[in-house]
Amino acid sequence: MATLSLELAFPTLTPVEMDFLRSHAERREYADGEVVFKAGDAAIPFFVVESGELKIINPTADNTTVTTHGAATFAGDIDILTRRPVIVTAVARGAKTVLLRVANDHFRKILHEIPSLGEKLVVAFTQRRRLLQDSGVLGIKVIGPATCAETNIIREFLYKNFVPHTWFDVASNDGIKVLKQVERTAKQAPVVVCPDGSVHSNPPLRTLSRCVGLYRECPNAEWDLAIVGGGPAGMAAAVYASSEALSTVVLDRLGPGGQAAGSSLIENFIGFPSGLPGAELGTRGALQMYKFGARFVTPVIVNRLEPGEPFHTLYTDGDEKIRAKVVLIATGVKWRKLPAKNAERFEMAGIYYAATTVESRLCGGGTVLVVGGGNSAGQAAMFLSESCPDVRLIIRGDNFAKSMSDYLAARIKDNPRIRIHLNSEIETVLGDRKLTGVELIDKSTNEKQTINCCGVFVFIGAEPPTQWLPDQIARDAQGYLLTGADARASGKWKLDREPCPLETSMPRVLAAGDVRAGSTKRVGFAVGDGSLAVTCVHRLRTF
C-alpha cells in the first residue's frame, strides 16, 4: 500500500503531458540554491521540472528534506487548489534548474483541458498531503493540555480543514520546550504558533483561520447559489453547480464534511467497497469544489435569511451579506447532548461528539464508552477498538442492532474488544480536572456501576438547527424543513406554480440532506439530495 501511495504521489509526466504543459507555462531558469517558493507563500504557481532538481524542505522540522523532484515531475500539493499558504520551501538544486511555471489562476484550465492529467495531479496532491501529515512535525504548532476543551476545538477545526499541524501536550518535554521558545507559559495554553511566526493564546477560530491562510472575506458578489452547510449534501450541490458554471459559495461554521467528517469510516457509500473515512470524504469533496471554482468560506455562522427579489440575503456573524438567487439549506443535524450530570463540564475534554484520529489519540490504550445504537455509534466503536483494548457500547434499548446495519452489528458481536451494555444509561460523569469515569445504571434492574474510562463518545440522536430561519419556512413537528408537495400543503406556499421537489415554502430556498423532513439519514441520500438541488437551481433561476 505504501508503494502504491508513493507511485501515486510522485508520478512521472509523459512526453505528451510535458509538451501540453509547455504550451501553458512560462519557462524559467534557477541557479543552485535559489528559493523557488517558501513556506508561507499563498496561491503559488504550479511548477514542473524540465531539467535539474527541485528540493522540498520542511522548515518546521529543522529544514529536513521532504523529497527531491527530478525531470518530468512537479511540485505542490492540495494548497495549489486551495490557494492557502504552503507549509514547505522549494529550492533549486544543480548548476541550472529549468522549471515550467503555470500561474495559479490558470491552473484550473489545465485540470479541465486534459481530464487524465487533471486526475493524475489531484490524486498526487492528495497523496502527498497524506504522506506529509504522517511524516512527523510539520505546519503550525498547537500546545495545550489533552483534556482542554479549547485545545481540542482548535485541533478539530484544523483537522476538518486539512490544515497540517503538530500538537504538543503542554505537560510533555517537547511542549515545555516549544512554550519556552515562544515565551509563553502553560497558563496561557492553548498556544498556537502560526506559519508566519506569530503566537496566539486561545485564538478565536476566525483569528486562527486567518493566521493559517484559511479564511478569506466573502466578496460582496451576487451568487447564483449560496449553500449554508458544508456536509455531503452541501458539497455535492457545490460540485455539480460549479461544474455547470453556476457561481457558488458554501458557508460553514467549522469546515467541510459536516457530521459525516466525524465518522471514522463510511462503508455504505457507493464506489468505496473498503469504506471511506469521513474526514477524507470532506477533503475530497472540498478539492472537487475548488477544482470547479466554488468558494468555501469557514468559519462562518449564518444568523439570518432575508427574502428578496431577485436575490435573497444571508447575514453572517462576521457582518457579511451574501446575496444569492437561490439559497440551499444543508445544515444537517446536530447530535443531542449527553443527558447526564456533569456532562456539560467535560464537553470536548473527555466527552466527544465525533470519533476521528484527533479524539482517539487522546484515549489510546484506555477504556472508552460509546453511547448510541446507530451506524455512527457502531463505526465509532469499531474504530476506537483499534487503539483501545476496552470499548463499551452503551445502548438505551434491549436490542443493540435495531438501528444498525447488519454487517456492522455482526462485526461488533465478533469483536473481543467491544462489550455491549443493554438497557443502560450514563447517570453521572465523574472527574475533577479531567474525566475519570461514569456512573452507569441498568434501567431493567436499577443496578448501578462505576466504569473508569478516559473518554465518552456520544451519538444519541439528532435535531435540526433551523431556529435561525424565518417563520415563513414551514417545518414539521420536530423542526425539519418541509419541501415540495409537503411545503405546498403546509399553507405557507403562496405562488401559483408547483414548488421544486426540494423547494421549501419560501420560493427559491431549498433544503437538502438531513435537515429536510422525510430524508433518509445516510451519506448517499444526502449526496443525492445535493445533486437534485442543482436541477432545481437551474429551473428556479428562470423565475
Q: Could you tell me where in the chain the CATH 3.40.30.10 domains are found?
A: 140-211
CA geometry: angle at 488 spanning 484 and 493, to 5°? 115
Rounded to two decimals, the pTM is 0.86
Residue 145 Cα to chain centre, angstroms:
23
Q: How far is CA 330 from CA 24, 286, 536, in A?
A: 38, 15, 14
Q: Could you tell me where in the chain the CATH 2.60.120.10 domains are found?
A: 2-133
Cβ neighbour number for residue 96 with a 10 Å cutoff: 11
Question: Hey, what's the cell of 222?
Answer: 451576487
Pick the CATH number of 2-133 from 2.60.120.10, 3.40.250.10, 3.30.365.10, 2.50.20.10: 2.60.120.10
Which tens digits make up the pLDDT trace of 341-396? 999 999 988 999 888 877 777 776 789 999 999 888 999 999 999 999 999 999 99
Helices of type H across 436-541 = 484-489, 523-540
**Residue ranges of the chain whose pLDDT lies below 70:** 1-4, 136-137, 217-220, 364, 542-543
List beta partners, residue 312: 324
**Residue 2, pLDDT score:** 44
**Residue 136, pLDDT score:** 67
Q: Could you tell me where in the chain the CATH 3.50.50.60 domains are found?
A: 222-333+464-540, 344-462
**Residue 1, pLDDT score:** 38
Contact 246, 295 (CB under 8 A): no
Phi, psi of 60 (to 5 degrees): -70, -30
Pairing verdict, β 89-102 and 46-58? antiparallel
**CA-CA distance, 325 to 222, in Å (whole number)?**
8
Cβ neighbour number for residue 413 with a 10 Å cutoff: 11
**CA-CA distance, 81 to 74, in Å (whole number)?**
14
CATH architecture classification, 344-462:
3-Layer(bba) Sandwich (3.50)
DSSP 259: G
Answer whether CATH 3.40.30.10 is correct for domain 140-211.
yes
**CA-CA distance, 196 to 211, in Å (whole number)?**
8
**Residue 258, pLDDT score:** 86
**Residue 237, pLDDT score:** 97
Contact 26, 100 (CB under 8 A): yes
Q: How far is CA 255 from CA 279, 348, 383, 475, in A?
A: 10, 17, 22, 26
Answer whether CATH 3.40.50.10170 is correct for domain 222-333+464-540.
no
**CA-CA distance, 431 to 454, in Å (whole number)?**
10
On the CB side of 106, CA atoms within 13 Å amount to 11
